[in-house]
Structure 1
Amino acid sequence: MDGKQRLIAASMALAMLWSVALVWLGFGRGAGFLGPVTPVVLAYLPGGLVMVALIGRLAQRRFFDPTIIDGQAFAPGSGAEIDQRVLTNTTEQMVLALVLWPFAGWTLGWGLMPILGVNFAVMRVLFWAGYHRSPPLRGFGFAASFYPTVVATLAGIVRLMGV
Structure 2
Amino acid sequence: MPDVDRLDLPHRLAAEELSGFPAEQRRVAIRMAAALAVTAVAVAIGLLHPGPSLPPAERAMLAIRTDLFVVIWLAVAIGNVARLRFLSPADIAGSAAGPSSPRIAPASAFLQNTLEQVALAVPVHVALAIAMPRPATLLAILAALLAVGRLCFALGYAKGAAARAFGFALTFYPTLAALALAIGWTLIG
1:133-152 matches, cutoff 5 A: 133-152=159-178
Is 1:16 aligned to residue 42 of structure 2?
A: no
Is 1:4 aligned to residue 44 of structure 2?
A: no
Aligned mate of 2:139, from 109, 113, 126: 113
TM-score normalised by L of structure 2: 0.75
Aligned mate of 1:131, from 145, 149, 157: 157
8 Å Cα contact 1:31/1:39 also seen in 2: no
8 Å Cα contact 1:43/1:115 also seen in 2: no
Alpha-carbon distance in structure 1 between the residues aligned to 2:88 and 2:54:
51
Alpha-carbon deviation of 1:79? 3.5
Alpha-carbon distance in structure 1 between the residues aligned to 2:54 and 2:181:
24
Aligned mate of 2:74, from 46, 51, 64: 51
TM-score normalised by L of structure 1: 0.85
2:9 alignment counterpart: none
Counterpart secondary structure, 2:67: helix
Aligned mate of 1:104, from 104, 107, 128: 128
8 Å Cα contact 2:124/2:182 also seen in 1: no
Query: Deviations along 1:56-87, whole A, 9 cap, x unmatched?
Result: 11111111111111113303xx2311111111
The change in CA–CA distance for 1:80 and 1:30 in structure 2 (over 3 A counts) is same
The structure that has the greater radius of gyration is: 2
2:15 alignment counterpart: none
* Structure 2 gap ranges (5+): 1-20
Alpha-carbon deviation of 1:32? 5.8
Alpha-carbon distance in structure 2 between the residues aligned to 1:143 and 1:38:
27
8 Å Cα contact 2:91/2:104 also seen in 1: no
Alpha-carbon distance in structure 2 between the residues aligned to 1:69 and 1:10:
39
Alpha-carbon distance in structure 2 between the residues aligned to 1:31 and 1:60:
42
How high is the sequence identity, in percent, across the aligned residues? 28
* RMSD between superposed Cα atoms in Å: 2.1
The change in CA–CA distance for 1:155 and 1:41 in structure 2 (over 3 A counts) is closer
Alpha-carbon distance in structure 1 between the residues aligned to 2:183 and 2:107:
34
Is 1:86 aligned to residue 106 of structure 2?
A: no
Structure 2 counterpart of 1:110, one-letter code = P
The change in CA–CA distance for 1:160 and 1:40 in structure 2 (over 3 A counts) is closer
8 Å Cα contact 2:27/2:162 also seen in 1: yes
Alpha-carbon deviation of 1:136? 2.2
Alpha-carbon distance in structure 2 between the residues aligned to 1:59 and 1:160:
40
Alpha-carbon deviation of 1:44? 1.2
For these two proteins, the number of residue pairs brought into alignment is 160
